Amino acid sequence: MKLSLGTKAVARNSKNSLDVLFKSEQIQLEKGRFHQVTQFKSGDSHFFLFGVIHAVNTGGLYEKINHRSNDSQNNLLSKVFGNLPLEKAIISCEGHFMGVQITSNQELTLFGDSCGRIEVFYVEQDGEIVATESLDRLVTEERSKGYDQTALINLLGIYGNYAPKQQTIYKGIKRLGVGQRIIFSNGKVSYENESFTPEKTQEYGNEKLEEYYEIFRSAVEIRSSDEMNWVCMSSGWDSSSILAMLNHIHGPKKIRCAIMRMQYSDRSGYNNDFEIKRAKQITDFYDVPLDIVDVNYSSPEFNDFWSSIRNDFKAQHIYGLYPYNFYKLNNYISKHATPRSSVFNGETSDGSHNFGFSQFATILDHPDLGFREYSDKMASYLFGPSFFESIQNGKAKDDLIYKLLADQKGDGHIDIEKMSKKDNWKIDYALSFLCSAKRLPFSELGNTGMLTDRGMEKYRNEIGESYLKEFNDTATSENIYSWFAHLYNSFYWQGSNIKGVMTSPGYNDLSVAAPFWDNRMQSFLSVMPESWGRGLELHPTKYPLKWMLRNKIKYPLDLQVGPHSYLYDVNPNWSADADIIYGSEAVPFFKERLKSKSYEELFDPEVFDLGKISKLTDEYVKGKEVVGQDRADLKNLISLCNVGWY
Mean pLDDT for 153-175 is 95
pTM: 0.95
- Give the model's confidence band at 367: pLDDT under 50 very low, under 70 low, under 90 confident, else very high: low
Q: Over the stretch 579-622, which tens digit does the pLDDT of each residue have?
A: 999 999 999 999 999 999 999 999 999 999 999 999 999 999 99
pLDDT score of 445: 84
Q: How far is CA 576 from CA 145, 270, 566, in A?
A: 36, 11, 9
d(CA 378, CA 404): 10
pLDDT surpassing 80 at residue 406: yes
pLDDT surpassing 90 at residue 58: no
**CATH architecture group of domain 2-193:** 4-Layer Sandwich (3.60)
- Give the model's confidence band at 360: pLDDT under 50 very low, under 70 low, under 90 confident, else very high: low
Which CATH class name applies to 207-299+323-352+496-567? alpha beta
Mean pLDDT for 494-499 is 94
Q: Which of 80, 66, 120 is nearest to 98 (CA)?
A: 120
d(CA 163, CA 490): 9
Q: Which residue has the higher pLDDT, 253 or 564?
A: 253
CB neighbours (10 Å) of residue 373? 19
Strands 108-112 and 180-185: antiparallel
- Give the model's confidence band at 570: pLDDT under 50 very low, under 70 low, under 90 confident, else very high: low
d(CA 572, CA 582): 18
pLDDT surpassing 80 at residue 328: yes
Q: Over the stretch 190-207, which tens digit does the pLDDT of each residue have?
A: 999 998 999 999 999 999
Q: Over the stretch 216-275, which tens digit does the pLDDT of each residue have?
A: 999 999 999 999 999 999 989 999 999 999 999 999 999 999 999 999 999 888 989 989
Mean pLDDT of the chain: 92
pLDDT score of 569: 61
Q: Which residue has the higher pLDDT, 197 or 437?
A: 197
pLDDT score of 529: 98
Q: Over the stretch 73-88, which tens digit does the pLDDT of each residue have?
A: 888 999 999 989 999 9
Buried b / exposed e over 3-13, threshold 16 CB at 10 Å, is: bbbbeebbebb
- Give the model's confidence band at 398: pLDDT under 50 very low, under 70 low, under 90 confident, else very high: very high
pLDDT score of 15: 81
pLDDT score of 563: 56
- Give the model's confidence band at 339: pLDDT under 50 very low, under 70 low, under 90 confident, else very high: confident
pLDDT score of 564: 58
Which residues touch 442 (CB under 8 Å, ≥6 apart)? 414, 416, 419, 428, 429, 432
DSSP class of 491? T
Q: Which residue has the higher pLDDT, 516 or 71?
A: 516
pLDDT score of 447: 80
Residues 606, 452: contact at Cβ < 8 Å?
Answer: yes
pLDDT score of 268: 86
Domain ranges for the chain, please list them: 2-193, 207-299+323-352+496-567, 359-493, 586-643
d(CA 336, CA 322): 23
pLDDT surpassing 80 at residue 364: no
Cα Rg of the chain (Å, integer): 24
What's the gap between Cα 267 and its chain centre?
Answer: 31
pLDDT score of 361: 65
Q: Over the stretch 95-148, which tens digit does the pLDDT of each residue have?
A: 999 999 999 999 999 999 999 999 999 999 889 999 999 999 887 666 567 999
Element (H or E) spanning 188, and its range? strand 188-193
Q: Which residue has the higher pLDDT, 285 or 574?
A: 285
Q: How far is CA 211 from CA 339, 347, 442, 545, in A?
A: 33, 21, 36, 11
pLDDT score of 343: 97
